Amino acid sequence: MDKLDWAFYSQPIVAECKEVLIREELLLREETANCAFFPQKYWESLTKKEYQELHYSIIHQVKTILKKNLTNHYSINLSRNSLISTALITEIKKEWLSFKDRLVIEITEEAPIGSLTIHEQQQVELRLRNHMEELNKLGFTLSLDDIGTGVHSLENVLNMLPYVSELKYSLNNFQKINTLIDLEEFLQAWQHLAQSQGLVFIVEGIETKLEDEWLTKLGIKYKQGFYYGKPQHLQMEGD
């Protein structure tokens, strides 16, 4: 496996308007001469050992970012597969516990690695919820990313609600909705679920002023997307 030439980029998450910064999401990107993108093919080709080693590196790099930027608030994507690993949970507690008030862990909707029986899948879900409960009790803020897609179906989201503080929905899912009325109903259903549980609801993937104004009319307060700022390379020590 060739070494990945990767870096962290950051993108703002805002409230009400572009000027109110809530935090920045840290995004893992592969850098080439012309662009930076998420290394999906590389990610899918990793062995279990390589997958774990990459996550150790991510955990340590995020700690460095938090130590270097003492007043900034961030979020970082971690997959469900990483959070079922007891070793990685131990590393998260060791490296991030003292920064938990400035860091949100966004749980992505990545499907389990490999083919699992129904019983094995149930055991994986139980281990995930146990680890989420453990992090929640320690004071970590957990967010569910890309709700309504993949394994983050309504049923699975409901099972994880006791341990999370935030739900995120991406406008990239719009192509699955037939009409604007259906889309509004879909968004507001998730929004009402979040409000009923006292959770933050964030819509991401916003690219235009029209989308921003439309979401404001729907009462969507927290937003993320190119309209508020494109991902920017985050300078690290030694860069």
SS3 letters for 149-199? Answer: CCCCCHHHHHHHHHHCCEEEEEHHHHHHCCCHHHHHHHHHHHHHHHHHCCC
Upper half-sphere CA count for residue 155 (Cβ side, 13 Å): 3
Please tell me the predicted confidence (pLDDT) of residue 175. Answer: 61
179 or 239, greater pLDDT: 179
In a domain, 42, yes or no: yes
In a domain, 238, yes or no: no
pLDDT in tens, 39-96: 888 888 888 899 999 999 999 999 999 999 999 999 999 999 899 999 999 999 999 9
Q: How far apart are CA 66 and CA 72, in angstroms?
A: 7
Q: Sorting pLDDT into bands at 50, 70 and 90, what band is 17?
A: confident
Q: How many domains does the chain have?
A: 1
pLDDT in tens, 155-211: 999 999 999 999 999 988 766 666 666 788 889 999 999 999 999 999 999 999 998
Q: What's the domain range around 115?
A: 6-233
Q: What is the CATH number of the domain that holds 38?
A: 3.20.20.450
Q: How far apart are CA 21 and CA 13, in angstroms?
A: 6
**Mean of the per-residue pLDDT values of the chain:** 90
How many other C-beta atoms can be found within 10 angstroms of the C-beta atom of residue 208? 11
In a domain, 81, yes or no: yes
Q: How far apart are CA 65 and CA 74, in angstroms?
A: 9
In a domain, 225, yes or no: yes
Q: Contact 190/220 with Cβ under 8 angstroms?
A: no
6 or 127, greater pLDDT: 127
Q: Sorting pLDDT into bands at 50, 70 and 90, what band is 1?
A: very low
Residue 164 tokens read as: 């999370």
SS3 92: helix
Q: How far apart are CA 187 and CA 193, in angstroms?
A: 10
User: Could you give the percent of the chain with pLDDT greater than 90?
Assistant: 68
In a domain, 185, yes or no: yes
Please tell me the predicted confidence (pLDDT) of residue 184. Answer: 87
pLDDT in tens, 210-224: 989 999 999 999 999
| For residue 231, pLDDT beyond 80 | yes
Please tell me the predicted confidence (pLDDT) of residue 178. Answer: 60
SS3 12: strand
Q: Sorting pLDDT into bands at 50, 70 and 90, what band is 117?
A: confident
| For residue 142, pLDDT beyond 70 | yes
Residue 106 tokens read as: 């966004």
In a domain, 1, yes or no: no
